[in-house]
Amino acid sequence: MSPSLWGLFGGAFNPPHYGHLRSALEVVELLRLERLLFLPSGGHPFKGADLLAPTTHRVAMTALAIAGEPRFALSTVEADRPGVSYTVDTLTRLSREHPDRELVLLLGTDLLEELHLWKDWRTMIDRTHLCLLTRPGFPENLSRTPAGRFLASHRVDGPAGLHRAVLGHHGFLIQPVTMLEISSTDLRHRVAAGRSLRYLTPEPVAEYIQRHGLYATH
Ligand code: ATP
């Protein structure tokens, strides 16, 4: 029997929203993931600290956002690390802590563009399966990016291919999922403008933002 697959969904979650949650749920179902770990970032290598709500708040909001879906879980591996946190270190740690699980790193299309700039990205790819989340109907042109060109040779043709790849080396999958037109940036702007977040993020997250006065100016 092949080992169980756990997905890793990293992000700033600043704040989390239904775009994250909907695509995460679809991935869980399509890839038959036993668990999907949400990994709020700590210090972020590419985002200025002034745009980020404090890590403790983003962790708390992520916990509120995923409550109620038993296959979703929170991991503070990245959030707890002092200073800048790198995905390769997270993968090394999680694969040591869960040697009986296979890990799948989930990435948005936007991240494929910059993947070759990530610390030790080739090592990182060696330690995990990779699943690129795309919008339905928009096949990616892999040859456009250095990481995409490398990954093309590891590509499997669907979720079943990923499970087959478990029994040997790592696979790369392009998985179309529903991408709601929602971004954390837009949510922050709405808060700063005094507008409602209703139907863009779970109500407990919106209430948390209001209670703690997050994003009132940015
Ligand atoms: P920001 O607007 O601040 O850049 P964001 O909304 O893109 O934030 P992140 O926390 O940076 O959210 O994203 C975490 C992960 O979720 C990334 O892999 C990103 O590609 C993905 N993601 C973000 N928004 C959506 C969405 N609407 N649908 C599906 N996936 C999304």
Per-domain residue ranges of the chain: 5-183
Question: Distance (Å, rounded) from C-alpha 218 to C-alpha 216?
Answer: 7
Atom of ligand 1 nearest to the CA of 16: 10
User: Can you tell me the mean pLDDT for 48-72?
Assistant: 90
pLDDT score of 48: 52
208 Cα distance to chain centroid: 21
Atom of ligand 1 nearest to the CA of 17: 6
Question: Distance (Å, rounded) from C-alpha 131 to C-alpha 176?
Answer: 10
User: Can you tell me the mean pLDDT for 126-133?
Assistant: 88
Residue 184 alpha carbon to ligand 1 centre in Å: 7
Q: What is the pTM of this model?
A: 0.92
**Terminal Cα distance for the chain, rounded:** 50
User: Can you tell me the mean pLDDT for 34-58?
Assistant: 82
Neighbours of 34 (CB within 10 A): 14
User: Can you tell me the mean pLDDT for 23-39?
Assistant: 96
pLDDT at 167 exceeding the cut of 60:
no
pLDDT score of 63: 98
Task: Identify the three-state secondary structure at position 82.
Answer: coil
Question: Distance (Å, rounded) from C-alpha 200 to C-alpha 206?
Answer: 9
Question: Distance (Å, rounded) from C-alpha 130 to C-alpha 25?
Answer: 17
- DSSP string of 96-130, one letter each residue: HH-TTEEEEEEEEHHHHHHGGGSTTHHHHHHTSEE
The residue whose CB lies within 8 Å of the most ligand 1 atoms, and thus the one to mutate among 115, 182, 183, is 183
CATH of domain 5-183: 3.40.50.620
pLDDT at 160 exceeding the cut of 70:
yes
pLDDT at 39 exceeding the cut of 70:
yes
How much of the chain, in percent, has pLDDT values that exceed 90? 56
Q: Which residues contact 145 (CB under 8 A, 6 or more apart)?
A: 112, 113, 115, 116
Task: Identify the three-state secondary structure at position 167.
Answer: coil
For the chain, the residue count is: 218
The mean of the pLDDT values for the chain is 88
pLDDT score of 218: 54
At 58, list the tokens: 């983003």
Nearest CA to ligand 1 atom 17: 108
In short, whether 148's Cβ falls inside 6 Å of ligand 1 is: no
